[in-house]
Amino acid sequence: MILNSLKDSASIESLHPLFKKAFDYLKATDFSKVPAGKTILDGDKLYLSVAEPTGKTKETARMETHDKYIDIQMPLTAVETMGWKATKDLKEPTAPYNPEKDITFFADKPTTYVAVQPGEFAIFFPEDGHAPGIAEGNFRKVIVKVKI
Domains and CATH numbers, the chain: 2-147 (2.60.120.370)
Report DSSP state, residue 79: -
Rounded to whole angstroms, the Cα distance separating 60 from 42 reads: 33
Rounded to whole angstroms, the Cα distance separating 27 from 70 reads: 19
Tens digits of pLDDT across the chain (148 residues): 999 999 999 999 999 999 999 999 999 999 999 999 999 999 999 999 999 999 999 999 999 999 999 999 999 999 999 999 999 999 999 999 999 999 999 999 999 999 999 999 999 999 999 999 999 999 999 999 999 9
Percent of the chain scoring above 70 in pLDDT: 100
Residues 16-26 have pLDDT tens digits of 999 999 999 99
Residue 81 β-bridge partners: 115, 134
Residues 36-52 have pLDDT tens digits of 999 999 999 999 999 99
Mean pLDDT across the chain: 97
Query: Contact at 8 Å (CB) between 147 and 45?
Result: yes
